[in-house]
Amino acid sequence: MKTRLSKRLNALFDAVPPGYDSVWDLCCDHGRLGMAILETARAPAVIFVDQIQDITRELEERLQRYGAEGYQVLCQDASHLNLPKQGRHLLVLAGVGDEVTLNIMAGLLAQGANTARFDWLISPANNLFQVREQLQQWPLSVQAEGFVMDKQRGYEWLLLQHGEAPPCPVSNPAPFWDASQPEHRQHLQKLLRHARKQSKNPQQRDQAEREIHALQGLLEKKRGIQ
C-alpha cells in the first residue's frame, strides 16, 4: 500500500470487511482511507464525498495523478446523497463530531427501504456516549467494535449493520472497556472529567449524569468494587 495511514486510520482500514460492491468515504477530506481501500482492492469501487470544493478538487487531481481507477469524487453534503438501489455497500464516516455524524446518519437512514443494503463503519471524534444513545434508537446491529489510541487521543469505532430487530444491539458504554488496561483507564478518566464539566450546563446535565454514572461503574470495576 502506497498511502500511509495513521494508527487511527489503520485501525479503520483493518475493520473494513471484504465483499462490498462499494465503500463510501464520507467526509473524506484527504481521502487517505478510501485511497488505501482502492490501492489494496479491498473493494472494487470507492466513492469519496466531501462538501468543500477545494478539498474534492485537490483529491480528484491526486487520484488522477496516481492513475487510480474505480472511484468517484462527489462534492456535496453527505446527509443528502443519492444512495444506490442495489448491491451491498459500506458507508465509512470518521473524524467528524457527534452532531455531524448523527445528522448524516439520520439523513441517509431516512432513505431506508428505498436503497440497497448499507452497513456503516463510524468513528466519531467525540461524545461517543451521546452517539451510542442515539444509535440505540435506530435499527442497527453491531458487527464489530473497537478502540484505538493515536497520539494520546482515544477513538472508538463501530461496524454496524442496518436491519430490523437487530440481533446485536448497540450497548452504551461500549462492552470492550477494561479499566485495568492503562490506555483504557486513561481514556475513561478523561471522559469522566469532560462529563463532569458538561454536567454543569443545565441543558446537558441529565445526559452527562448518566455518562458519569456509567464511567464511574467502569472505573470502579478495576478496583473490584462491582
Ligand X SMILES: C[S@@+](CC[C@H](N)C(=O)[O-])C[C@H]1O[C@@H](n2cnc3c(N)ncnc32)[C@H](O)[C@@H]1O
Burial class (CB in 10 A: 0-12, 13-18, 19+), 222: middle
Q: Binding residue for ligand X (CB under 6 A) from 45, 100, 109, 149?
A: 100
94 vs 148 by CB, closer to ligand X: 94
Instruction: Tell me the residue number closest to ligand X, measured at CB.
Output: 95
21's grid cell = 460492491
Which value, to the nearest 10 degrees, does the dihedral of the CA atoms of residues 45, 37, 42, 48 take?
Answer: -20
The answer to whether 156 contacts ligand X (rule: CB under 6 A) is no
Residue of 94, 131, 174, 188 that binds ligand X (CB under 6 A): 94
Considering beta carbons, is residue 28 or 128 the nearer one to ligand X? Answer: 28
Query: Binding to ligand X by residue 52, rule CB under 6 A?
Result: yes
CB of residue 33 vs ligand X: minimum separation in angstroms?
Answer: 7
Q: Residue 51 interacts with ligand X (CB under 6 A)?
A: yes
Q: How far is CA 114 from CA 43, 108, 118, 123, in A?
A: 23, 11, 11, 25
- Residue 128 as a binder of ligand X (CB under 6 A): the answer is no
User: Between 80 and 205, whose beta carbon lies closer to ligand X?
Assistant: 80
28 binds ligand X (CB under 6 A): yes
Listing from the earlier edge strand, what are the strands of the sheet with 117-123? Answer: 71-75, 46-50, 22-26, 88-94, 117-123, 153-162, 140-150
- Pairing status of strand 153-162 against strand 117-123: antiparallel
Binding-site ranges for ligand X (CB under 6 A): 27-29, 49-52, 55, 77-79, 94-96, 100, 104
